Structure 1
Amino acid sequence: MQTQTEPPRQLTLPPQGGGWRETFFSLLGTLMFGAMLVALSIYTVPNLVTDWQVRDAAQPVADGRVSEGSCSSRLMINICDATLSIMTKTGRVSRDVNYIFADAHSGNYTVTVLADPARPELATTDMALDKLWNRTITLLIAGGLLLAMTVAPIIGLFRKMRARREEAAA
């Protein structure tokens, strides 16, 4: 009985350096996550800062109203948008708010409009102040992740470009 041995097969790897596709997707990822980071900064940070400013002096407002309020939840991350309006000495003041926080809550949220009597234009809700630390930590984590996903593709591109230059010089 004769056994035939097959010659060893050569394993080939794909060529290094993805070319224009790799560069395109790196830049697209940077642009996409960078835009999300900018949106987080524009819509969430100002409300968080003003809530930290009024947290000690905020009181319930008798005629405070919430209009167009809604919350959505994805994987324990809640995003709530609302328009708050209160009556001041100069007339009715409206303020759009946006809250992002982590919570395993299911169902509806009930909120009370609060404001600092010295600065009623900075109206907020009791839910926003109750979840102030939660919102701050969620913002820091989400912002850090988005920043890392914005910068990492660019760093990767620069490293590959440097490796190609060194390889070409050798």
Structure 2
Amino acid sequence: MVTSGPLLLGIPAGDWLQAFSGIIGVVLTVLVTLWIEGRRRQAEERADLRIVETAVRDLEDALDACEAPLPHDQNLQGRLALAIAAQKRLHEATPGYEFARAQTVVRDLTVFRELRYLDGALASKAATIGSEYNILLGGAGRVTEAVLQVNQVRVREIAAYLRPFVSGASETLSAKL
């Protein structure tokens, strides 16, 4: 038998080199595929968190509107319309947030905790938010100045209670994105 190069275990060096190159190629292909998949998954998670972040910002804007004092230079109907508009934003932002949360899988424990705190806070005030909003909606001709003032006090209390939870979630989401 005539060989053209050195042998190792009876196998020519060129065959060893070819086998080693094939193994390296497979390993690199798998590693690059895993890296690309990881990057794709991170991008999807960030996109999902951006949806939740948008919903949290909507809640912040709604709380801002609810905390804003009503102008005293308008008549009762004008202030009532502003109060209804502000509470409508909060009333609609809450289900928007709940929808975004239901669509999003959160894999970061810090974000998960903040969002769970916010979930609990919103759940504890959901009935009150709805009832205060419905008081104003149902009483177009029956809402007096005293009813509007009590409503505003209650809504501001709700907003003050929710603010730290909404701010905490917003800050945590912003830090992760």
Classify the TM-score, shorter chain. Answer: 0.3 to 0.5
Q: 1 or 2 for the larger relative contact order (CA 8 Å, sep ≥6)?
A: 2
User: Over alpha carbons, which structure has the higher Rg?
Assistant: 2
TM (norm. structure 1) is: 0.35
TM (norm. structure 2) is: 0.34
Higher strand share: 1
